Amino acid sequence: MALKLNLVALPSHNLKSAKVFAASTMQYSTTRGSESTKRDSYWPAKEVHFQVTHSMPPEKIEIFKSMESWTTKNILTHLKPVEKSWQPQDFLPQADSEGFYEQVKELRERSKELPDDYFVVLVGDMITEEALPTYQTALNTLDGVRDETGASLSPWAVWNRGWTAEENRHGDLLNKYLYLSGRVDMRQIEKTIQYLIGCGMDFKFENNPYNFFIYTSFQERATFISHGNTARLAKRYGDAKLAQICGTIAADEKRHEIAYTMIAEKLFEIDPDATVLALADMMRKKIVMPALLMYDGQDDNLFENFSAVAQNLGVYTAKDYADNLEFLVGRWNVAGLTGLSSEGRRAQDFVCRLPSRIRRLEERAQEKAKQASTIPFSWIHGREVRV
């Protein structure tokens, strides 16, 4: 899980890609449905962007086929064997032990010290993790790296399934913790999960693995930071067990970040022009995080409000967004790329200048920010928190 911040306004046009990518099939949807069906449907509660599919020609697909042996050697090693992996039960009261009720009581006592805004962020994190069916579906739309059969032995498919299996534990663990805490409205949370999976996700990948590996490098790093900050806050509020839970999830996200950034680094080495174009394209669109289309049956702006709480609490901020981009630009040595086309050089210049631009825009936005207000969240029984 990670968050999207709507605090900066960047150009909405995308880099032209006719020289690199084949013609695309485009679809467009702007509404969630009629007002009469709005509350009962799976239409997204907000606009879905201009959708592009299959924007990668066959010669680019061959690049990913040629990377399969490299992927086996360098990427699959970042998956942990199941028998050596942690499981949610390792951190939760033991239901088959005589001390189960005492353990639950202790958990509930610790959770009393956590403020409502913290629970809003923790719930949003959990809901995002629980929407994994959407994310695995998205992985299997990608040209060149999808799981063609559902049980393919391609290293790309093995990674996709293994990554999903590891991530699945995060939602399970947080869900059970929140249920046992007694601090949240689980039915409203469960409705939000069902809505989110039903609405899907507007990733803006274009079925294009270049775009996807840029996205996941950024998103997994954002997730690592977000869970790390919830761990530190839990420790500050006196819940050492929850701090351990969030820290353990953050460590998983860091391992996944390393794998995805290695893939992108390899693409910059093999095909720097297409990769820098993909980086600029995704940053012009802005990285949108997995729970963008979340809805609880009441609040059409639920994700924006959840993100605002996370910003106020310092869990994931506009500064983090700029820092993440700056880190990745440096990690991939984007400034040092050579042999680029004229379009690639423009993309290179745009991306290298972007972190400082984001920071300037954010400073202006903060100066103009209005007095903070409070709004109710159904996840915490309608109690209000500052946004």
Mind listing the pLDDT tens digit for each residue in 350-367?
999 999 998 887 766 666
> So what's the pLDDT on residue 370?
58
Q: Which residue of the set 125, 143, 252, 343 is catalytic?
A: 252
pLDDT exceeds 80 at position 113: yes
| Percentage of the residues of the chain whose pLDDT score is greater than 90 | 77
Lowest mean pLDDT among 26-30, 64-68, 353-357, 370-374: 26-30
> So what's the pLDDT on residue 9?
39
Q: Which residue of the set 166, 185, 220, 362 is catalytic?
A: 220
Positions of E strands within the chain = 25-29, 48-53, 374-376, 384-386
Q: Which residue of the set 49, 54, 86, 190 is catalytic?
A: 86
DSSP letters, 89-146, are GGGS--TTSTTHHHHHHHHHHHHTTS-HHHHHHHHHHHHHHHTHHHHHHHHTT-TTTS
Alpha-carbon gap, residue 2 to 291, rounded angstroms = 8
Q: Is 102 annotated as a binding residue?
A: no
> So what's the pLDDT on residue 273?
98
Write down the pTM of the prediction: 0.89
Exposed / middle / buried, residue 340 (Cβ in 10 Å: 0-12, 13-18, 19+): middle
Axis crossing angle, helix 116-130 with helix 302-313, rounded to the nearest 10: 130
> So what's the pLDDT on residue 251?
98
Q: Is 83 annotated as a binding residue?
A: no
Exposed / middle / buried, residue 130 (Cβ in 10 Å: 0-12, 13-18, 19+): buried
The closest alpha carbon to 206, from 51, 32, 50, belongs to 51
83 is catalytic: no
Q: Which residue of the set 130, 147, 166, 253 is catalytic?
A: 253
59 is catalytic: no
Q: Which residue of the set 256, 281, 299, 362 is catalytic?
A: 256
Whether 185 maps to a domain, the answer reads yes
- Which DSSP helix (H) or strand (E) runs through 266? helix 240-270
Lowest mean pLDDT among 1-5, 45-49, 377-381: 1-5
> So what's the pLDDT on residue 366?
65
First to last CA, the chain: 20
Mean pLDDT of the chain: 89
- Higher-pLDDT residue of 5 and 90 is 90
Lowest mean pLDDT among 93-97, 204-208, 238-242, 271-275: 204-208
Write the pLDDT tens digit of every residue in 16-61: 333 333 333 334 344 444 454 555 677 776 677 777 888 889 999 9
pLDDT exceeds 70 at position 162: yes
Q: Output the six-digit token pair for 195.
A: 């809505």
Q: Which residue of the set 223, 230, 275, 317 is catalytic?
A: 223
130 is catalytic: no
What are the residues whose beta carbons fall under 8 Å from the beta carbon of 320, sequence distance 6 or more?
222, 225
Alpha-carbon gap, residue 243 to 45, rounded angstroms = 33
Beta bridge partners of 384: 376
Average pLDDT on 175-182 reads 98
The closest alpha carbon to 278, from 268, 269, 288, belongs to 268
13 is catalytic: no
pLDDT exceeds 70 at position 383: yes
b or e along 75-112 (b: 16 or more beta carbons within 10 Å of the residue's beta carbon)?
Answer: beebbeeeeeebebeebbbeeeeeeeeebbeebeebbe
Q: Is 256 annotated as a binding residue?
A: yes
> So what's the pLDDT on residue 364?
65
129 is catalytic: yes
Whether 51 maps to a domain, the answer reads no
Residue-range definition of the domain harbouring residue 282: 68-386
Q: Is 220 annotated as a binding residue?
A: yes
Whether 31 maps to a domain, the answer reads no
> So what's the pLDDT on residue 202?
85
How many domains, the chain? 1
253 is catalytic: yes
- Higher-pLDDT residue of 84 and 2 is 84
Exposed / middle / buried, residue 383 (Cβ in 10 Å: 0-12, 13-18, 19+): middle
Whether 60 maps to a domain, the answer reads no
Are 174 and 125 in contact by the 8 Å Cβ rule? The answer is yes
256 is catalytic: yes
Q: Is 167 annotated as a binding residue?
A: yes
> So what's the pLDDT on residue 288?
81
Whether 195 maps to a domain, the answer reads yes
Write the pLDDT tens digit of every residue in 192-248: 999 999 999 888 888 999 999 999 999 999 999 999 999 999 999 999 999 999 999
Average pLDDT on 323-347 reads 97
Three-class SS of residue 88? helix
Q: How far is CA 79 from CA 61, 70, 83, 147, 188, in A?
A: 24, 15, 12, 17, 34
Q: Which residue of the set 129, 166, 281, 320 is catalytic?
A: 129
Whether 58 maps to a domain, the answer reads no
Alpha-carbon gap, residue 298 to 378, rounded angstroms = 8
Residue reference for tokens 């605090």: 7
Exposed / middle / buried, residue 33 (Cβ in 10 Å: 0-12, 13-18, 19+): middle
Whether 33 maps to a domain, the answer reads no
Strand-strand pairing, 374-376 and 25-29: unpaired
Average pLDDT on 266-292 reads 94
* Amino acid, res. 348: Q
Which CATH number fits the domain that encloses residue 330? 1.10.620.20
Q: Which residue of the set 170, 261, 281, 296 is catalytic?
A: 170
Whether 1 maps to a domain, the answer reads no
Alpha-carbon gap, residue 121 to 317, rounded angstroms = 13
The closest alpha carbon to 55, from 14, 97, 84, 96, belongs to 14
* Amino acid, res. 225: I
